[in-house]
Amino acid sequence: MTIGNALNFIERGLHDSALRRRLNKASDAIEHEKILSEEKLMFSAGEFEDAYNHRLTLCQEEDEADQIKEFKMWWELLTGCTCGNTCSGCC
C-alpha cells in the first residue's frame, strides 16, 4: 500500500465513472478492497488522507478543490470511514 496508490485512486476516481459505479455497487468493505486490489489501487485510510491533503495543495482553482472535496465526501460515505490518519480500525 502506498500514498501513490491513493493519489492514483483519487485521479482515476474523479474521471472514471465505471470505477465509481463498481465501488457504489459493492455491498461491503471486503468488496471495496477486492475492487481496489484488482485495480492495483490498495491504500490505507491514512494514505488516503495524506493523498487527499496533497492533492488539495495542488489545486489552482476553487472549482477543482471543490471537486476533490466532493470526491472525499463520496469516499467517506461509501466506506463509512471519516477518521483519516487516526483510524482505529473502522475502515
**What's the confidence (pLDDT) of residue 86?**
44
Q: Are 78 and 45 in contact (CB under 8 A)?
A: no
pLDDT (tens digit per residue) in 48-89: 999 999 999 999 999 999 999 999 999 999 998 656 544 445
Closest to 31 (Cα-Cα) out of 11, 74, 39, 83: 39
Predicted structure pTM score? 0.86
